[in-house]
Chains A and B, each alone.
Chain A
Amino acid sequence: MMPSLILRVMAPAVAALTLPASIFILIQGHNHPGGGFVGGLVAAAGVIFYALGRGREAAGALLKLHPAEICGAGVLLALGSGLPGLLGAGYLTHLWWLPEYGLGTALIFDVGVYLTVVGMASAIFLALLRS
């Protein structure tokens, strides 16, 4: 099935808009609506749109890594973000460098959530696309 011309032309533009937007949503989640989960979903939507327009290989090249690797890296990052807390109050008790800007291990944890969600949704969709 050949994607429509409109989809093929628009796919990079949509991806170029959604990926930065998803990171914005991830970061502003600290004080405003957003966060790693929604951010990840938006980014996955961008990847899926790109894959629909340009095909699975192009989407894979855009991601650089295999989506399953991104997914696993996300879980590991979230797991690891709790380790510094072991020095203090306990596992997953977050530490802060610049609390007023939301900079701390909580942000690392949220990035982990983001990567897991992007990886999961992209992995499933790209696998569907291949079958």
Chain B
Amino acid sequence: MNTILILPILAGLAGALAASRLGSAAATRLGAAVAAIAFASFASLAGPVLDQGAVSSPFWGVPALGIEGGLRLDALGLVFALLISGIGFFIFLYAERYLAGDARLKRLSVILILFMTAMLGAVTADDVIVLFVFWEVTSLTSFFLVGYDHEKPGVRKAALQALLVTAGGGLVLLAGLILLAGAAGTASVSGIIAARDQVLASDTAMAAMLLLIIGCFTKSAQIPFHFWLPNAMAAPTPVSAYLHSATMVKLGIYLLARFNPLFQEEALWQAILTWAGLATGVMAGILALRETDLKRILAYTTLTALGTLTMLIGLAPQLSLMAAITFLVAHAFYKAALFMAAGIIDHETGTRDIRALGGLRHTMPKTALAVGLACLSMAGLPPFIGFLGKELIYEALLSGEGLSLVLIAGAIFVNALNVAVAGLLGFRVFFGAEKPTPAKPHDPPFGMLAGPSVLSVLGLAGGLVAGPFGLWVAGPAAGAMLGGPLPADLALWHGFNLVLGLSGLTLGGGIALYLGWPKLQPGLAGIGAIDRYGADRGYHKGLAAILRGAEWTTLRIQHGDLRGYLRSLFLVLGFGLLAVLLLRHGFALPEFDRDSVDLRALAFLMLAGGALATVLAKSLFTAVVASGLVGFAAALIFLFFGAPDVALTQFAVETLLVAILAFALTRLSISTRDDRRGRDRLKDGAIALSCGGAVTALLLAVLASPLDTRLSDWFGQASLAQAHGRNVVNVILVDFRALDTLGEITVLAIAAFAVLALLRPMRKEKGV
């Protein structure tokens, strides 16, 4: 039991509540404070996590529903939690200045706090349901964050797209998690992984794995769900820097890593992750070369990074997991810094078009320094942590059992592209001749520069202390992804070998791409087929098809003809019952005891008479009263045969029903005469007869089967002994099955409110 683990989440919830009552600037500062508290809490847990492997804190749960609740932090979760809270801190500082004076800054801060809290919850949750809830909260909050400029139609579209893809994927994930929990017999993530053999032996293991992969791929924007990420660049830059580079898009990677110990030896898991990751990386690399908008270029390079990470998890051997975690940290450092820097350039010069920028090092020297450091890490040059990550990737690819030239070629292309983009951002924008920009460029205030500076310096430091980094960060985290310890000796310099040769090749390719970019970009951008047949296009076509389908079913099913509704209801009831009885050979006749017939049979005559009168009635009013007769006769039968409670209720319901119906008929302008034509009446009669016949057959079949009295016996005995009541029916309602009753009265209340809402517009139209 570790209470510190709950602190960040409680701080986040309290912070979001408090921030909604503060001013804009104060709300963002509070967000920074919450992030700092979270970071400090997790940092203080680093010791115990490294000592014991994991700390846990069971804080709440609904045992009856199989939700055990509880948080658990291991080295993998710790890396993510520190990145989320640490980068979050700088994002809040950044947002305060970036959006200074914007009236919506407060709302952004509150939602960012909630988002950060949900992210921290997702990477520390040990229960699949809790994990899913946090996961979906990140999707929901990201919808509001992307849709910050909601007055613009394009922004709304992008926000909706991100929500539909990621939250829809979340539902797929939920299905997978439920299957896993069912197979393992526990909802605990660590429990599921511990029950590995049992889970993999179950019939549902492969289905669960595929559902899990789809869920993670939507979140981490892998092929074919990659299209939402570049579009989500419609978000303000602090949001893009936080959600779309460092944190939310890595949640899918996190979950793949989390469940890697479970599936790592499955060939299908390895194949899907490796090849989808590679395809995402290469495709995004090509698409990145088409763009000229700083943020969209960065978004595509983020896709290449996510693809690389997915590929590394799929590769399975120990070294690739070390590479994955190292590259993940390196990428989080430089990409968050570069996104924030792109925002700075946009903010201070008025443009994000890379073709319109140049020579900014004279006017923005501090920004240039931070961007330069981050770009060196991105390009994978020593002694930066990006170099460490890239070397490990090559080493892992070369040492893999299935050495594949395609994989290596793909990785070289992806890394060369990152070199080229690093050149575009770090060199082209800041060196060369100064170009005129809409605004006069200058360095931003401290708050905006703090994040890029610290993160890019960390990228340098991480590489310089490669040994301790491997021992304390990458090693334990990769161990959690493997499900066991692994050697964690990292070093920056490995001497002159094949890996270094590949790095040289990468650098050369990157420089070539950089030099060719001014010609390559317009050429690639001119290929219209990518826009016409891309996944984004497929998404829009799919969405339009869903809308058309919804329109069709609405016209077919919800046509507004009340009699049509009733006809379909009773047709389904009648023929559904008959079909089941036929298929299951359920028709049966009970034994009939002639001696049991006595005066009580008169009630049945009354019932039949009432039914006949209802059918033959000339006006609706008579029909309502006659159908009331049926109800009263049924109540009499309940009374005669030992169900006084049901009888009492039936009497009350019937009285009210007749009163309300009769009243409604006099008040509402419904024609009280039956206006159906002969054919309609025949059709309705046939439906009524088949429905009545089906129910009769069902009841006869029920009576023919022996009565199981175990439940009624138990309730009869337990009623007084356990619930202190002699009225078994009422005791069941208010005590044994109180939760059901609670549900029923909630339905009643909602129905009442719905009726009130329905009757409201009628009143207005009449002007009363």
Q: Which residues of A contact B (CB under 8 A)?
A: 1, 25, 29-38, 41-42, 44-45, 48, 52, 67-68, 71-72, 74-75, 78-79, 82, 90-92, 94, 96, 99-100, 102, 104, 106, 109-110, 112-113, 116-117, 119-121, 123-125, 127-131
Contact = CB atoms under 8 A, between A and B. Distances in A.
A30 B648 CA distance: 15
A75 B748 CA distance: 9
Given A34-B727, A35-B730, A94-B723, A124 B742 contact: no
Contact of B751 (A37, A38, A120): A120
Contacts of A42: 652
Interface string B640-652: 0000110111001
B512 interface: no
Contacts of B653: 41
Given A72-B749, A75-B749, A119-B749, A82 B649 contact: no
A46 to B, nearest CB: 11
A131 B767 CA distance: 10
B731 to A, nearest CB: 8
Given A29-B727, A30-B725, A96-B724, A119 B656 contact: no
A104 B734 CA distance: 11
A37 B648 CA distance: 10
B30 to A, nearest CB: 32
B660 A30 contact: no
Interface residues of B, number: 46
A45 B660 CA distance: 10
A25 B648 CA distance: 10
B577 interface: no
Interface stretch (B36-44, B413-421, B430-438, B752-760): B752-760
B730 A68 contact: no
Contacts of A109: 734-735, 738, 741
A32 B768 CA distance: 46
Given A35-B729, A71-B753, 6 more contacts: A33-B727, A35-B727, A36-B734, A38-B648, A48-B660, A78-B745
A131 B656 contact: no
B741 A113 contact: yes
A77 B762 CA distance: 32
B649 A37 contact: yes
15 contacts: A1-B666, A31-B725, A44-B656, A75-B745, A75-B749, A94-B723, A102-B724, A102-B725, A109-B741, A110-B733, A116-B748, A119-B749, A121-B656, A124-B752, A131-B668
A116 B748 CA distance: 7
A130 B664 CA distance: 11
B68 to A, nearest CB: 15
B655 interface: yes
B717 to A, nearest CB: 16
A96 B731 CA distance: 13
Contact of B734 (A48, A68, A113): A113
B739 interface: yes
Given A94-B723, A109-B738, A110-B730, A33 B648 contact: yes
B64 interface: yes
A35 B653 CA distance: 14
B745 A116 contact: yes
A117 B763 contact: no
A33 to B, nearest CB: 4
B1 interface: no
B667 interface: yes
Contacts of B751: 120
B752 A120 contact: yes
A52 B663 contact: yes
Interface in B305-357: none
B26 interface: no
A94 B735 contact: yes
B659 interface: yes
Contacts of B652: 38, 41-42, 45
B726 interface: yes
Most buried by B among A33, A91, A119: A33
A52 to B, nearest CB: 7
Contacts of A78: 741-742, 745
A82 B738 contact: yes
Given A30-B730, A109-B738, A131 B745 contact: no
Given A38-B645, A99-B724, A74 B734 contact: no
B746 interface: yes
A90 B61 CA distance: 12
B738 to A, nearest CB: 4
Most buried by A among B659, B741, B752, B755: B752
B747 to A, nearest CB: 10
B590 to A, nearest CB: 28
Most buried by A among B64, B742, B763: B742
A92 B647 CA distance: 27
Contacts of B756: 68, 123-124, 127
Nearest to B751: A120
Contacts of A29: 727, 730
Contacts of B755: 123-124, 127
Contacts of A38: 645, 648-649, 652
Nearest to B739: A92
